[in-house]
Structure 1
């Protein structure tokens, strides 16, 4: 199976050994961030630093002024962690290519706290009226135009042979925000769905198109969540649990609206990339087969998304049951050449199991996976990387 390792440009730039070390793992490809959200990341082997603090979502290349002229929503250049006017993606991509690795860009779309802080009117607004600054609402026309432009620019970078689009869909309540203090009431994905429903003007109009009164729907959501707050949480998961909380009719109507918007955003983003890319440029989406889910792995309809993109990258860490849940829905719809990439965490300190990589990969392949993604070669310890290299060699 073709394997790709995730990296940030700062893992490579300034470290003359990084590209060769990555190639020595046995991977053929690197998925290299070109547009990324704020983060604090370890760099365990870098000769110049051990921690990189990316203070806000940014593009890791010089954005094209002409593309964004006259637009309120535009990408932010990076700060000192990736100097403005420089091209850390381009420099890292060149070093990786020199080591014999194929580079694909990694683009984070609908996840940007600075954008939401500076433009609060574009944020998801929950049923209580709270805004989520990290989650631009993809139903807003300005957001959709911004996402399509960002997808095209950040994906089609010099040196990239393809791209992977993350957060290409709805983002919601779940977010590891700075110093999160939301664990006092545990929410399963059914309650998460209710807390992720947006009530901005565009979404209110969308619910009305689906036959719902948006004010009554917001009140219904609040009533449905009251027992969850009172009980200290709910681990209920799955769409039937959403229907129990909200009622089958209202639940179906909200999902119809959100699915319609998400499909349009995915089609527009992929279309924008294809229009800017040379022939053969591959476009994958980080995805979840449950359309009601939101987040980095946006909920999709498997049949639809495999008719739009060249494939998907699926979260496959968490055991055999987790892999089956995400891979099986896609397998019947995979046409010739479509990619089902199993994303496996190989950082033991982040809950990964590098020692189980070969077995996990074999199980994923039996479920239809065609490629592997290894999260994350820049964050892993030396010990983890040695095990990854052994496991990939065993797969050969």
Structure 2
């Protein structure tokens, strides 16, 4: 199975040994960040630093002049990834024999929300989510579509992976998060993700809903959850709390906005890219889910993109809905965390890869070559060696309690 490791430019630039070290893992490809959100990251082997603080969402290459007069535009990185940091790292990685694909973060930017508060998701209580641009707003959609094309199609890149190309909600961290005190479950997360900015209020009206009445209904539905009565029944719970017709109308609005944005972004990338350029989306097959792995309809997204990158840190079950709609040439990449300090399990990677293959996965993604310890990387090397052994690769061990991470 083709395997790619996620990498930041700062993992490579200034560390002459990094490209060969990554290639020695046994991976075929790197997925290299070209546009990324704010983060604080370890660099455990870098000769010049051990911590990188990316202060805001930025692009890691010189943005085009066409952004100059735009209200919404990407920002260059600070000293954590100056100039064409992406291009420098990409050249070094390619020199080590690795294919390079871009890694593009889209609808997740605290700086965008801080500078332009009107672009943010607004929940039913009137709270803004500055890290979550509302993807229903025309100006935001235009910005994200153009950013996708520019950040994806960098010189030498053979493909891209588009992350956060859909609705964002409460989850996936913001600064020093203190939001886990109440277990909202999938239903509560959906209700807290419903946006009430002017564009979405108009959209609900187009679906026959009164936005003020909907906001009241959402607050009332959430009230028992705040008291600890979380019901993690997923979408049926949302239908029970809001009523089936209202719940369906919210989905009609939100699903339509997400689908058309995904179509537009992929089309923009293809228009800017050379022939054969691969376009993948980080995706979750539960369409109402929000976050970095955008909730999608598997049949639809696989009719738009070349494939998907599927989160498998909690097990491989999410691969199945995509596999049911895969074509012969569909890329179905199983994404495993291999940083043990972040809950990953590099020691079970060979078995996990075999299980993923049995469920239809065609490729592997490893998160994250730059963040992992030496011990984790050694385990990855051994796992990929074992996974390339036909006797191991052809066997998919049964799922056990210890291997469902």
Paired position in structure 2 for 1:355: 347
Which shows bigger deviation, 279-288 or 248-257? 248-257
Aligned to 1:333: 325
Q: Which runs of 5+ in 2 are unaligned?
A: 389-405
8 A contact 2:231–2:237 mirrored in 1: no
> Which residue does 1:149 correspond to in 2?
146
Match of 2:397 in 1: none
Task: Report what 1:42 is aligned to.
Answer: 42
Whether contact under 8 Å (2:172, 2:292) holds in the other structure is no
Change (3 A) 1:240 1:268: same
Partner Cα distance (2:225, 2:218) in 1? 11
Provide the C-alpha distance between the structure 2 equivalents of 1:274 and 1:76, rounded to a whole number of angstroms: 23
Map 1:99-114; keep pairs closer than 5 Å: 99-114=96-111
Match of 1:370 in 2: 362
Q: 1:19-168 alignment to 2 at 5 Å?
A: 19-65=19-65, 67-83=66-82, 86-168=83-165
Instruction: Report if the CA contact (8 A) 2:113-2:131 is conserved.
Output: yes
Root-mean-square deviation (CA), in Å? 0.9
Tell me how far apart the structure 1 counterparts of residues 341 and 168 of structure 2 sit (CA, whole Å): 26
- Candidates 375, 392, 398, aligned match of 1:383: 375
User: What whole-Å deviation, never above 9, does each CA across 1:173-201 have from its counterpart, x for those lacking one?
Assistant: 11311111222222211100000000011
Q: Which residue of 1 aligns with 2:401?
A: none
Following TM superposition, the consecutive aligned residue runs of length 4 or more in structure 1 with deviations greater than 4 angstroms are none
CA distance in structure 2 between the aligned counterparts of 1:47 and 1:205, rounded to whole angstroms: 53
- Give distance in 1, aligned partners of 2:234 and 2:364: 26
In structure 1, what is the Cα distance between the partners aligned to 2:238 and 2:340?
33
1:231-266 CA distance string (max 9 Å, x none): 2x6251421122122221111110111110000100
Structure 1 residue 345 displacement after superposition: 0.3
* Distance in 2 of aligned mates of 1:115 and 1:19: 33
Q: Secondary structure at the match of 2:40?
A: strand
- Structure 2 CA distance, aligned partners of 1:265 and 1:237? 28
Match for residue 337 of structure 2? 345
Show CA shifts across 1:141-172 (max 9, x none).
00000001100000000121100000001011
In 2, the alpha carbon distance for the partners of 1:299 and 1:237 equals 17
TM-score, L = length of structure 1: 0.97
* Mapping 1:219-298, distance limit 5 Å: 219-231=216-228, 234=230, 236-298=232-294
CA distance in 2: counterparts of 1:230 and 1:9, whole angstroms = 44
CA distance in 2, matches of 1:256, 1:363: 35
Output the CA distance in 2 between the equivalents of 1:29 and 1:5.
7
Q: 1:395 aligns with which of 374, 378, 387?
A: 387
C-alpha separation between the residues in 1 aligned to 2:176 and 2:144? 27
The separation in 1 between residues aligned to 2:387 and 2:356, in whole angstroms, is 13
Contact kept? 2:334, 2:363, Cα under 8 Å: yes
Q: Deviations over 1:197-235 (max 9, x none)?
A: 00011111111111111111100000000111122x625
| Cα-to-partner distance string for 1:331-368 (whole Å, 9 max, x where unaligned) | 12111211010000000000000000010011111111
Gapped regions of structure 1 (runs ≥ 5): none
Partner of 2:208: 211
Q: Note the C-alpha offset of 1:51.
A: 0.2
CA deviation after TM superposition for structure 1 residue 80, in Å = 1.0
1:333 counterpart SS class: coil
Structure 2 length-normalised TM: 0.95
Q: Give me the whole-angstrom Cα distance separating, in 2, the residues matched to 1:74 and 1:95.
A: 28
